[in-house]
Amino acid sequence: MESDGRRMQLLRHSMQKTIDKFASVAKFKVFAQNLKPIYKKDPDGFRHMHTQMISQFSQHLSEELECMYKEERLPELLKQLDTLSKNSDKSVGNVWRPCGEAEVDIQAHLLPIKIKQRDELREMLKTLESQNRLLQGALKSKQMKIMETSDKIEEYHDKWKQISDCFASEKMVELDKFNEHQLHT
Give the contacts of 75 (CB within 8 A, at least 6 positions apart): 1, 4, 5, 8, 69
Helix residue ranges per DSSP H, 26-73: 28-34, 36-41, 43-71
Q: What is the reported pLDDT for 98? A: 77
Condensed to tens digits (0 to 9), the pLDDT of residues 14-58 reads 999 999 888 888 888 887 888 888 888 988 888 888 889 889 989
Give the contacts of 148 (CB within 8 A, at least 6 positions apart): none
**Which value, to the nearest 10 degrees, does the dihedral of the CA atoms of residues 118, 121, 126, 131 take?**
-170
Give the contacts of 19 (CB within 8 A, at least 6 positions apart): 58, 61, 62
End-to-end CA distance of the chain: 144
Share of the chain above pLDDT 70, in %: 88
Domains in the chain: boundaries: 6-86, 103-185
Q: How much is the average pLDDT of 150-164? A: 88
Q: What is the reported pLDDT for 163? A: 76
Condensed to tens digits (0 to 9), the pLDDT of residues 100-138 reads 888 888 887 888 999 999 999 999 999 999 999 999 999
Q: What is the reported pLDDT for 171? A: 67
